[in-house]
A and B are shown apart, each in its own frame.
Chain A
Amino acid sequence: MKRLLTGNEAIAEGVIESGVEVITGYPGTPSSEVILNLKSMQNKADFRPQHIEWSINEKVALEIAAGAAWAGKRALVTMKMSGLNVAADSLVSIAYSGCRGGLVIFVADDPGAHAGMAEQDSRHYARLMIIPMLDLASQQEGLDYMKLAFELSEKIGGPIFLRSTTDISHVASDVEIGNRLNLEKREIFLEKDITRYTKAASSWCIAQHKDAINRLKQALDYTDNYLSEHGIRVNEMSLDEKIKEGVIYSGAVEGNFKEAIKRYNLKLSWLKIGLIHPLPEERIKRFLEKVERVLILEELDPFIETEVRRIASQMNKSVDIWGKFNKDFLPWVGGYSFREIKKGLETFLGKVFESEQDSRIRLKAKEIEVKRTTSFCVGCPHRGAYFALNKAIKKLKYKKDEIIITGDIGCTILGMNKPFESCWTEIAMGASIGLAQGFKWAGIEKPVIATIGDSTFFHAGIPPLINAIYQKVPLTVIILDNGWTAMTGFEENPGTLAFDNKEDTKRVDIREICQGCGVEDLKVIDPYKPEEAINTIIKAIKYPGVSVVLSRQECALQAKRRKVNFAKYRVDIKKCTGCRVCLNSVGCPAMVFHPAEEKGRPYMEITMDCFGCGICKFDCPTGAIEEIKDGK
């Protein structure tokens, strides 16, 4: 049976078909939908894993999955590429120790940086950590390779990377559903072996290192000729002795490469590589023996190309290799659209397949297009928090460009956009609080402020906060606690219970964490109440030590979903002068401005989308914005 599935949905189906029992992860675009889907199918679709959770961060998620795999279960952990950096410390050690039950690490990269963040190429981790890596070239492979990954992990006794990219994870295609493995509930396996599961003696470490390297070879032997249940070969070669030109490719470029072959009726030999670590060296040699010129297509770094060049240099035949090391040829950054692949092939083959559109048209379109910047959603509590923060800074008589505000990952970073333009930096989870301390030690005497969301604080914000307290660094941390990990798809986190009643978890209160860390100046504000919020932030900024302001109000979209209602607002058109002060100071998408041309005089309208946060009322000079009381 075929279904229309995104790559992440296909991967989730592969997880179900593999009978995985423990599933953990931390949300991050473009990886989140795997667990979001599994959670939504839990107990439906005859899918009853022992446990699925959104963990506090990727490192903890990985450790939980590894523990389960060491006890003999099949376990999956998911994350985006930046999350892999967080999990890396534990993962290296786990890879050396290996595992008993299948352990798969799903990581999604984002060539083109669609979701923001450093455009890192996570394939390098495979080499660094000595972990075999399967790289997806299609949605179908998401399902097939997930199943293969578990098989392979148990076969070799070590963890396996499954890597995807945005173009696979977020695109849907027709995917053939497979058979579910009929796995008996697995016995718990107890193995006390300190030579394998600790690193306390150098001889054990050396032995583990050797084991890890041996597992690579086994992985290659198992996969090189592997044929999946839907007829996909992991490493596949199409060789025509008469053709002198070949292409070696891997990953998401497959779609556009095959598109070009069909469209322009190209005659090329090709080698597709699905297991990108370890590379199928013998196969690559066989391929290079038969061609004279070879083009290497892969997104981001020349990961495969470097190896192909090394392999070619050891052969006693010269092959003309084309790739990212050629000057001004294939780019090292961004995803490869059809245009890049076509251009690459055209240059490689020395002919133009199809002429392009007059570039003038694209330039003209770019020039006149409408920019739509992202801002906070209607009723978003972060709007109130940044609104109050900006007002507080102004009341303290500071200029905007002299107060450093370090931002952090998540929705809260939108405070850098109009109309607030508050945040200066965004680095990595929790980094706002560490960076702020550095700015202080550099000698900045004016206040330095860090803003961070609840989930980001749980994830990596606590150690830098403790550090600031211990080192007595005067700074203000504003924690924007909306109760959800909202940006990546409204996942829950340890603080979510404040809003959403569930019985199988216990809420961890950020206020108590701050108290426990030794924060002496700790205040809670309601971002929907500007007056109090502004005054509290002023006091916090003036405080001579570490001050924390906890801004609390549920994510408006989640609150709406849960049918939480506030009285809406409207504009009294008789009082409104159309000055747009409200629009410029809060920029809420529920507002529509009507210029004078429409009805003879300008005025503001608040549409039915209003959530009733009430912030826009604060600045209106004529008092035209009013609450709708009892629906009147």
Chain B
Amino acid sequence: MEHKEQKDQVSAQRVWQPKVIAFVCNWCTYAGADLAGTSRIKYDANIRVIRLPCTGRIDPLFVIKAFEQGADGVLVSGCHPGDCHYNTGNYHARRRWTLFRELLEFVGIDLRRVQFAWVSAAEGAKWAEVVNEMVQHVRELGPFEGYHVMLARSGRDAWLEKAAAGGGNGSGKGVAGGTPAVQKAE
């Protein structure tokens, strides 16, 4: 994809900047981030927000995909317990997340790269704090290479090469990095 080439050129020219992807719910944290905006509270620019209806919509694979795509940290944020716009979405998200983080820790990912925070629609200042803290941690930890190191260790690349060379099991679709590949939208 062309934008990737552009990005690679840019990043080669500049010093490394952390890339933190945030998955936030529409009703609390997105609105809280809006409030930080309307209150003109300044925070680190190395954050990119992906808006979802609810933290309950967050599939752990999204987080893996983000790491696969070169994220150095992932932030997940939604309504406080009890305040989810959909009543219980964040409880499910919390359970899922707790397990998932344990798994990430097990495979050796520093948990400071994967944070969860409750930020309500009223907490603009908290959003700014959460972002700053997260980016600061990631900055200290440096670029995240663990994902690709792990893949190499898993022997995936060799397997892919073999598959590409004509052998393999055929489709190969969806195996890149273990998360679903994005199909081209026409």
- Tell me, yes or no, whether A binds B: no
B residues touching A (Cβ–Cβ < 8 Å)? none
* Interface residues, chain A, with chain B CB atoms under 8 Å away: none
